[in-house]
Amino acid sequence: MSKPLNILVLTYWSYKDGLIQTYTLPYLRQMSSVLSEDSKIHLVTLEKAHLQLEGKERRKIESDLQKKKIFWNPYSYTKFGLLAMLKWGLTIISLFWKIIRYRVDYIHCFCTPPGIAASVLSTITRTPLVIDSYEPHAEASLENGDWSKDSFPFKFLFGFEKYMSKRAEIIISATEGMRDYAKEKYDATFDRFYVKPACVDLDLFTSANKKKQEYIDELSFENKIVCVYAGKFGGIYLDQEVFDFFKVAQDFWGDRFRVLLLTNQSDDALNEWANKSGFDMKALEKRFVMHSQVPDYLGVGDFGITPVKPIPTKRYCTPIKNGEYWALGLPVVSTANISDDSDIIENEKIGSLINEFSTNEYQKVVEEIDDLLKNNTLENLYEKIRPVAVKYRSFDISKKIYAEVYGNQN
């Protein structure tokens, strides 16, 4: 019988954030399933003021989590700066005592920003460190224009990424290429290195979610060609370029073309990008929905778009959205050189890649999507694309990794 384990999980997100709901909790449940009954997972989140949970809602969440051996530890979020560093100092002290009190066996962090605290705590307490969703963040912020190479935030995070890479006992990366990146940038090599892309619950995204009439009627999408996107604009994502693409698609398909955005992006920002491109916003519907509703809304689409900025470090990330699109049988429009996904889209012929930001390139992409839609029924596309999700995004991939990391420990 496996011995009880106590695992401290550090994240940089609020509990209601989609990255906790879709990218953290499913994995914690998988971890829980391979742990003995007396084991506990202590989840740390950073709560932004507008997302904080109180009262009955919070108590119900805590109760539901504990049924899966997950114990929630919320801390308040502060934007990076001097105050945030001071607060993190206090948080590290608090977490240090929790490690002692709970007799923590592993510190498990998702992505490298919380890895700063995780690596400090691992060093002080000599607790094994696991870095999950391992990919570059400092250089990504540099390439994205958020930081300069001489800035303190860049030097601080990059230095800690190097330190935590050498400190970690186990690495769970989004791509195999991250192994070479770590060797080149951090001079770090790994004995225990796993590759876990952004996996998807394939039971939630199925053919049953396709083209539900009630959603088509709600959105007035009957006999329309629908591009869907669930996510943000700006930051690591394109913005104006997406609406320039929409304009070309609108010119090509005319009144048959529609866009469905599942986002909380402001209307002012959307209108500004649309005005600059000449895109008619009458062809766009915006919704901000619970994650449980996302499969049905995405299911009204004919194709999806993943507008990640094609900066070099995005070779080492894995967009969650692609797995959801593929699980629904949707062709994907993506920028080039994103994770392994761009190569998969191109090799499997299940979408089209944007290689440059120009009207001619957008026209080429629209025509390639049009060919896919004309030459295949919805059923044909589902039968062609769904197996890609099964092969590259199934939860079976992550379940096997967590079983190897935490299962059968004596």
In a 13 Å sphere around the CA of 70, the CA atoms on its Cβ side amount to 25
pLDDT at 1 over 70: no
- In this prediction, residue 72 carries a pLDDT of 96
Write down the pLDDT at residue 410: 60
Query: For residue 337, what pLDDT is reported?
Result: 93
Where are the CATH 3.40.50.2000 domain residues in the chain? 6-199+394-406, 207-393
Q: Does residue 147 register a pLDDT over 60? A: yes
**Per-residue pLDDT for 289 more than 90?**
no
pLDDT of residue 34: 94
Position 152 pLDDT exceeds 80: yes
- Indicate the pLDDT class of residue 86, thresholds 50, 70 and 90: confident
- State the pLDDT confidence band at 239, using cuts at 50, 70 and 90: very high
Band of pLDDT at residue 88, cut at 50, 70 and 90:
confident
Instruction: State yes or no: pLDDT of 8 exceeds 60.
Output: yes
Mean pLDDT of 57-68: 93
Mean pLDDT of 121-149: 94
pLDDT at 52 over 90: no
Was domain 6-199+394-406 assigned CATH 3.40.50.2000?
yes
Flag whether pLDDT at 17 surpasses 90: no
Please report the pLDDT score of residue 19 as a whole number. Answer: 86
For residues 388-392, give the mean pLDDT: 96
> Model confidence over 332-346: pLDDT tens digits?
999 999 999 999 999
Residue range 348-364, pLDDT digits in tens: 999 999 999 999 999 99
CATH superfamily ID and name for 207-393: Glycogen Phosphorylase B; (3.40.50.2000)
pTM of this prediction? 0.90
Residue 347 pLDDT class (50, 70, 90 cuts): very high
Distance separating alpha carbons of residues 109 and 111, to the nearest angstrom = 6
